[in-house]
Amino acid sequence: MTTIRLEAVSKYFNNTLAVDTIDLILADGTLTVLVGPSGCGKTTLLRMIAGLEEPTTGNIYIGDRLVNDVPTWERNTAMVFQSYALYPHMTVYQNMAFPLEAQKLRKDAIRQRILPVAEALGIAHLLDRKPRQLSGGQMQRVALGRAIVRRPDVFLLDEPLSNLDATLRIETRAELKRLQRDLAVTTVYVTHDQEEALTLADMLVVMRSGRPEQIGTPHEVYQSPRTTFVGRFIGNPPMNMLACHYIPAQRCLELTTCCLPIPPQFMAALAATNPPHSLVLGFRPEALRLHWQQPNTAYVFPATVYVLEPLGRETLITLNIGDERVKAIGAPDTLATAGVQVWLTVEPSALHLFDGESSVALQKTS
């Protein structure tokens, strides 16, 4: 059992609060992704789990063991950093074999471990080369392979695919996910790339300024962002957001260009005493439909097409609603052109509402 448990873990560097009172349980055998913008504390949190930084406050458990005072080499974690730290005088094979020789594994057992992992990571043809004969992306995969063959209790991976080109990154990501599933080693994966986070995670921890802003499955976080920050950070293009006001007398949301009826899922939240007046209306680009004539529905925004960006499979359409910009996804052969007046409709169930002051999502009822 290798559950990782963090209890009120904080880290100060002098006066900088890098990680702020985090409570987190990472289930045995799962892949947890820490995702967030630069400087939000991802690496610091990972290094504390590895034992490379000491928490200022709080406790870290690996399995049932409190590891605050356990040195790195006794935690049985394997960490892959952005910088790969390979031994320059050894071949790729020797680099991967090194931790296994230290474990006193037999030569043929070492070979049996290394070959399938090297195959999966696309480095099997490089086993006789020295690190200086490799590209950055190849070195990164060797470092990853060396961690995987060790079969530690925990993998700690810090942006391990950052040096790969786009195609290789997507391929390696899939292989890595499959390897993690097969080995069922508890894994913490750090990235600032929201797409990588969504594709890999069993559980996603969206971090901001040292704190988890939301913890959930990728589906939960994407479908129900807890704050405007999460709505914008997770999803590409980000969730569209429009400022609006709640007008209780008319039971409607007033935007600069139109009024919308209250979506049914927010009736209860807005019927509470002192509902927020200033709100943010959120909707994903893919939730919008374009119409050339005004459709007969209450959930409609008049808009003007600003620019079209063909992406092959679809067209990204940027539109103006009054002074505000939104993005929609159109067909590859959309008839929209810049400057044209259109109407955008959205299903009320696809609408999100956030408190304009706190940025926190209003409670939904079904």
Site residues (vs Mg ion, CB under 5 A) = 43
**How many angstroms separate the CA atoms of 53 and 55, rounded?**
6
Residue 38 near which of ligand ATP, Mg ion, none (CB within 5-8 Å, type-dependent): ligand ATP
Q: Give every CB contact of residue 187 below 8 A, 6+ residues apart in sequence.
A: 30, 31, 32, 154, 155, 156, 157, 180
Cβ distance to ligand ATP smaller for residue 34 or 120 = 34
- Least distance in angstroms from the C-beta of 160 to Mg ion: 12
Cβ distance to Mg ion smaller for residue 43 or 240 = 43
Cβ distance to ligand ATP smaller for residue 17 or 90 = 17
Residue 87 near which of Mg ion, ligand ATP, none (CB within 5-8 Å, type-dependent): none
Per-residue CA distances from 267 to 195, 234, 262, 300, 353 (Å) = 33, 26, 6, 19, 11
Per CB under 6 A, contacts with ligand ATP among 239-298 are: none
Residue 75 near which of Mg ion, ligand ATP, none (CB within 5-8 Å, type-dependent): none
Pair 114, 96: CB distance under 8 Å:
yes
Which of the ranges 11-19, 20-28, 68-76, 246-254 carries the binding residues for ligand ATP, by CB under 6 A? 11-19
Per-residue CA distances from 75 to 39, 49, 154 (Å) = 26, 9, 9
CA neighbours closer than 13 Å in the CB half-sphere of residue 163: 18
Asked if residue 237 has a cis previous peptide bond (ω within 30° of 0), the answer is yes
**How many angstroms separate the CA atoms of 18 and 103, rounded?**
35
> Does 39 contact ligand ATP by CB under 6 A?
yes
Please report the beta strands in 75-131, taking only residues with DSSP state E, as ranges in sequence order.
77-80
> Does 44 contact ligand ATP by CB under 6 A?
yes
The footprint of ligand ATP on this chain (CB under 6 A) covers a number of residues equal to: 11
Residue 44 near which of ligand ATP, Mg ion, none (CB within 5-8 Å, type-dependent): ligand ATP
- Least distance in angstroms from the C-beta of 50 to ligand ATP: 13
Which of the ranges 23-31, 40-48, 173-181, 280-288 carries the binding residues for ligand ATP, by CB under 6 A? 40-48
> Does 43 contact ligand ATP by CB under 6 A?
yes
Cβ distance to ligand ATP smaller for residue 40 or 346 = 40
**How many angstroms separate the CA atoms of 279 and 245, rounded?**
6
> Does 79 contact ligand ATP by CB under 6 A?
no
The residue from 8, 13, 311, 357 that contacts ligand ATP (CB under 6 A) is 13
Which of the ranges 37-45, 96-104, 171-179, 196-204 carries the binding residues for ligand ATP, by CB under 6 A? 37-45
Pair 46, 156: CB distance under 8 Å:
yes
**How many angstroms separate the CA atoms of 85 and 99, rounded?**
14
Residue 41 near which of Mg ion, ligand ATP, none (CB within 5-8 Å, type-dependent): ligand ATP
Question: In the 8-state DSSP scheme, what is residue 163?
Answer: T
- Least distance in angstroms from the C-beta of 195 to ligand ATP: 15
The structure tokens 């009826």 sit at: 261
Rounded to the nearest 10 degrees, the angle between the axes of helix 92-102 and helix 136-149 is 20
Please report the beta strands in the chain, taking only residues with DSSP state E, as ranges in sequence order.
4-13, 16-26, 31-35, 57-62, 65-66, 77-80, 154-158, 186-191, 203-208, 211-216, 240-247, 252-254, 259-261, 278-283, 289-291, 300-310, 315-321, 324-330, 341-345, 352-355
The structure tokens 């290789």 sit at: 168
Q: Give every CB contact of residue 232 below 8 A, 6+ residues apart in sequence.
A: 238, 239, 241
Cβ distance to ligand ATP smaller for residue 191 or 240 = 191
> Does 18 contact ligand ATP by CB under 6 A?
yes
Between 174 and 213, how does the x/- string for binding to ligand ATP read (CB under 6 A)? ------------------x---------------------
> Does 41 contact ligand ATP by CB under 6 A?
yes
Cβ distance to ligand ATP smaller for residue 42 or 352 = 42
Where do contacts with ligand ATP occur on this chain (CB under 6 A)?
13, 16, 18, 38-44, 192
